[in-house]
Amino acid sequence: MAEQLATGSRRALRPALPLLLPAYLWLTVAIFLPLSAMVFFSFMTDLPLAGKEWAFTLGNYAAFFSQSLYSKLLFASLRLGLEVTLWCVVIGYPAAYVLAKVLKGRSREAIFLLVILPFWSNGLVRIFSWAMVLREGGILDTTLNAVLPSKINIDLMYSYPAVIIGLVHSYVPYMVLTCYLTLQAIDDSLIEAGRSLGASRLQVLKRVIIPLSMPGLIAGAALIFVPVVGSFMEPRILGGRTGTFYGTVIEDQFVAVFNWPLGAALSFILLAVVLVILGLAAPVLRRAG
C-alpha cells in the first residue's frame, strides 16, 4: 500500500516538474547561491577581494563564544523579538477579531485598508515619521502638552520603547492578517453554539475561538519574531545609542567594518538559534491549539 502510494506520487511528479522548475530555479539563484556564498565567507579569514590573502578558519564562529558581548546582544535581540511579538499579539489579535467577526461590508474594507496601508509605504520613511512623532518637541510631545494642563516632557527618541513602537508598527499587520484569515474561517454558529450551551463570551473566546485561531497566531508570531530578532533599521534610527542589538552588529560588520566573514558567521549563528527556538516552540504551541 505504502509502496503503491510512493510510486503513485512519483508518477504524479513527472508531469509536475516543468511547472515546479521555475520556482526551484528562482529559489536556487535567489536564496541558495547567495546563502552558500555566505556560508563560504563565514569560514574565511578575509574577503578574497583586491588580491587580499585569505585562509579557512573557524575563528569567526569562535569569536561569538569568546566574546560575551555577542551572546549578550543576541539575548537582547531575542528578548526584543519576544516583546515585539507579544505586543503584536495584544494589538493585532483583537483588531483581527473585530475585522473578522464584528465589522461587515464597507466598514470592514475601510479598516482593512488602514491595516494594510503601512505595508505600502517605504520602511525607512515610516521609521523617520516615528522619529518626528517621538522626539522632544515632536508631534506626541506637542499634542499632549496642548491637551494636558501641566507641562510634561516627552522624549521617547533614542530609547528602548521607541524601538519597540517602531517595530510593532512595522510588523503588526502580519499578525492582523494571519489571525484574520483563521478567525474568518471560524463559523459564527460555533460561537452561537457555545453561548447556547451557557458559555459566556469570554469562555467561548478561551475555549473555542483562540484554540481554533491558534494556527494564525503561530504563523503571525513566526513571521514577526524571526525578522525582528535580526532587525537593525528600527533599532539604529529610533534607538540611537541604546539601539545596539545583534542585528545592528551584523549590519556593522557588512557596512562599516567590512568584516564580511564575521558578519556572515554571526548571521548563521542567529539563523541556527532562531531555528532551534521555532523547533522547540512549534510542538508546544501546536498542543496548546
Partner 1 sequence: MAGVQVANVSRSFGAHKALDDVSIDFPDGGFYALLGPSGSGKTTLLRQIAGFDFPDTGRIAIGGESVERVPVEKRRIGMVFQNYALFPNMSVADNVAFGLSVRGEPKGTIATEVQRALDLVQLGKLGGRRPHQLSGGQRQRVALARAIVTKPRVLLLDEPLGALDKALRVDMQIELKRIQREIGITTIFVTHDQEEALTMSDRIGILRDGRLVQEGPPEEIYDKPQSEFAATFLGDANIFRGDATGNGIRLPDGTTIAAGSGPSLAAGAKASCAVRPERIQISTGAGTSEAGYANTLRGQVSKRIFAGNNSTYFVDRDGQTLKVIVQNTGAERLAEGQEVILRWSPESTVLIAA
57-65, 107-115, 183-191, 243-251 -> range binding partner 1 (CB under 8 A)? 183-191
60 CB neighbour count, 10 Å cutoff: 23
Residue 191 grid coordinates: 460561537
Determine if 194 is a binding residue for partner 1 (CB under 8 A).
Answer: yes
Judged by CB under 8 A, the residue of 193, 257, 275, 276 near partner 1 is: 193
> And the C-alpha cell for 97?
477579531
Residue 56 pairs in a beta bridge with 44
Given the complex with partner 1, which of 78 and 183 has the nearer CB atom? 183
Applying CB under 8 A, does 29 fall inside the site for partner 1?
no
Nearer to partner 1, 66 or 184 (CB): 184
Least distance between partner 1 and beta carbon 24 (Å):
33
Tell me how far apart the alpha carbons of residues 65 and 175 are, in angstroms, rounded to a whole number.
Answer: 34
CA distance 139 to 121: 20
| CA–CA separation, 78 and 85 (whole Å) | 10
286 binds partner 1 (CB under 8 A): no
- Does the protein bind partner 1 through residue 187 (CB under 8 A)? yes
CB atoms within 10 A of CB 117: 10
Q: End-to-end distance of the chain based on CA atoms, in angstroms?
A: 32
Binding residue count for partner 1, defined by CB under 8 A: 18
Does residue number 273 form part of the binding site for partner 1 (CB under 8 A)?
Answer: no
Which is closer to partner 1, CB of 51 or CB of 198?
Answer: 198
Q: Which one of the spans 69-77, 189-197, 226-234, 239-247 is the region binding partner 1 (CB under 8 A)? A: 189-197
- Between 212 and 278, name the residue whose CB sits nearer to partner 1: 212
Are 218 and 206 within 8 A, CB to CB?
no
Residue with cell 577581494: 49
- Judged by beta carbon, residue 91 or residue 191, the one nearer partner 1 is 191
Tell me the CB-side half-sphere exposure of residue 114, using CA atoms within 13 A: 10
Q: Compute the Cα dihedral for 79, 82, 85, 91 and give only its sign.
A: negative
- Residue 6 makes contact with partner 1 by CB under 8 A: no
If one asks whether residue 192 binds partner 1 (CB under 8 A), the answer comes out as: yes
- Interface with partner 1 by CB under 8 A: which range of 28-36, 146-154, 193-201, 222-230? 193-201
288 lines the binding site for partner 1 (CB under 8 A): no
Residue type, 237: I
Q: Is 131 helix (H, G, I), strand (E, B) or coil?
A: helix
Note whether 101 binds partner 1 by CB under 8 A: no
Binders of partner 1 in range 197-256 (CB under 8 A): 197-200, 203, 207-208, 211-212
Kindly state the DSSP code that residue 240 receives in the 8-state scheme. Answer: G
Choose between 47 and 282: whose C-beta lies nearer to partner 1. Answer: 282
The C-alpha atoms of residue 151 and residue 243 are separated, in whole angstroms, by 28
Residues that bind partner 1 (CB under 8 A): 187, 189-190, 192-200, 203, 207-208, 211-212, 289
